[in-house]
Amino acid sequence: MDTLLLSTLNGLSYSLLLLLLVSGLTLIFSLLGVLNFAHGSFYMLGAYLAWQSGQWLGFWGGLLLAPLGVALLAGGFEIAVLRRLRPQGHLPELLATFALGVVLVEAARLLWGSAAVPYAIPAALQGRLFRLGGLDFATYRGFVMAVALAALGLSWLLLRYSRIGLIVQAALTHARMVAALGHDVAAVQTAVFAAGAALSGLAGAVGAPLLVTEPDMAASMGVLLFAVLLIGGLGSLRGAVVGALVVGELQTLAVAVNGSLADVLLHLGWAAPAAWPARDGLLASLLHLDVARAAALLPYVLLLIVLVLRPQGLTRALGSDEAL
């Protein structure tokens, strides 16, 4: 039981990191209608900027500078490229962000090399918070959870209660009216793109010491983010929370399950599939695939199920333009 509780807590820290990433993505999609394919690259850039400025200013300086740097770059890109493409529709914007993503990864390779950089947990945050089931719950994981919750709480408060937040919320659904009232909607859009990127950069800065900091981290995180986003429901912050929690815990807890479909069928009384040799044939191999082995695939299976049964995501209502 203790190990299960520890696993759930570890899964929670992983979920909160995912949430930090996906909340930026969903924010950008809500206001700009653009699926930001460069989000994984912003995450990677945040990690590298944090490490590099950490060399000069220490871990905390790096943590502060990284989201700022990423926000600056994202804002610049929005003004220079995305604004020009906005009249053309969402697809050119999506492609532009995809190109930016690749350019950022290659630039990181050029600046810091293709090998991983040793971005490690700072000495002040090493050690454990408590011990459960014979294993430590690392202090740094608690720190990641705290940072994620603080950043998200701050963003939510800003959106809800500040003036700029109200303008953003209004612009989400009535952009033209907000512009007619005299607010600079284009500036708001740039600010939101930069803020979403900053959240992603913060996730990179704070999460990378737990993981590996290398140029490939952008691609490996990128696809998972879309799965989380779509499972929860596009454009809804509540959906991002649900999606991140579901995917994070699913991936973590599925590892503990050692059964396969063949075992389930056996339980239900059908013994034949258990006898099929696992090596021959596609179907037999699939039946004998342990859930633990498939843990990394489960988000995509869930995404498929959600897309087929409830394409608007788990938390949203069906939009009028999505019926057919």
What residues numbered 217-276 form the site for another protein, per CB under 8 A? 219-221, 223, 226-227, 230, 234, 251-253, 255-256
Window 159 to 218, contacts with another protein (CB under 8 A): 210-212, 214-216
Q: What are the residues whose beta carbons fall under 8 Å from the beta carbon of 249, sequence distance 6 or more?
A: 8, 11, 12, 15
**Of positions 19, 22, 25, 35, contacts another protein by CB under 8 A:** 35
Segment near another protein (CB under 8 A), from 43-51, 134-142, 157-165, 174-182? 134-142
Window 104 to 123, contacts with another protein (CB under 8 A): 106-107, 109-110, 113-116, 118, 120-121
Residues composing the chain? 324
Q: Is 284 in the site for another protein (CB under 8 A)?
A: yes
3-state secondary structure of 238: helix
Report the alpha-carbon distance of residue 28 to residue 70 in Å, rounded: 14
| For another protein, the closer CB: 67 or 215 | 215
| For another protein, the closer CB: 159 or 231 | 231
Helices (H), 208-315: 217-232, 237-254, 261-267, 272-275, 282-287, 298-309
Q: What are the residues whose beta carbons fall under 8 Å from the beta carbon of 131, sequence distance 6 or more?
A: 137
Concatenated DSSP letters of 150-213: HHHHHHHHHHHHSHHHHHHHHHHH-HHHHHHTT--HHHHHHHHHHHHHHHHHHHHHHHTTTS-B
CB 203 → another protein: shortest distance, Å?
A: 12
Report the alpha-carbon distance of residue 202 to residue 184 in Å, rounded: 27
| For another protein, the closer CB: 187 or 301 | 301
Q: Is 12 in the site for another protein (CB under 8 A)?
A: no
| For another protein, the closer CB: 128 or 238 | 128
**Of positions 57, 58, 76, 84, contacts another protein by CB under 8 A:** 84
**Of positions 98, 142, 170, 261, contacts another protein by CB under 8 A:** 98
Output DSSP code: residue 137. Answer: E
**Of positions 64, 68, 72, 81, contacts another protein by CB under 8 A:** 81
| For another protein, the closer CB: 266 or 294 | 294
Window 52 to 71, contacts with another protein (CB under 8 A): none
Site string for another protein, 302-321 (x = CB under 8 A): -xx--xx--x----------
**Best CA proximity match to 293, nearest among 260, 265, 320, 245:** 260
Concatenated DSSP letters of 71-90: HHHHHHHIIIIIHHHGGG-H
CB 275 → another protein: shortest distance, Å?
A: 16
Q: Which residue has the tokens 């430590």?
A: 136
| For another protein, the closer CB: 99 or 150 | 99
| For another protein, the closer CB: 63 or 218 | 218
Measured on CA atoms in the order 118, 123, 127, 129, is the torsion positive or negative?
A: negative
**Of positions 61, 92, 142, 165, contacts another protein by CB under 8 A:** 92
Q: Is 48 in the site for another protein (CB under 8 A)?
A: no
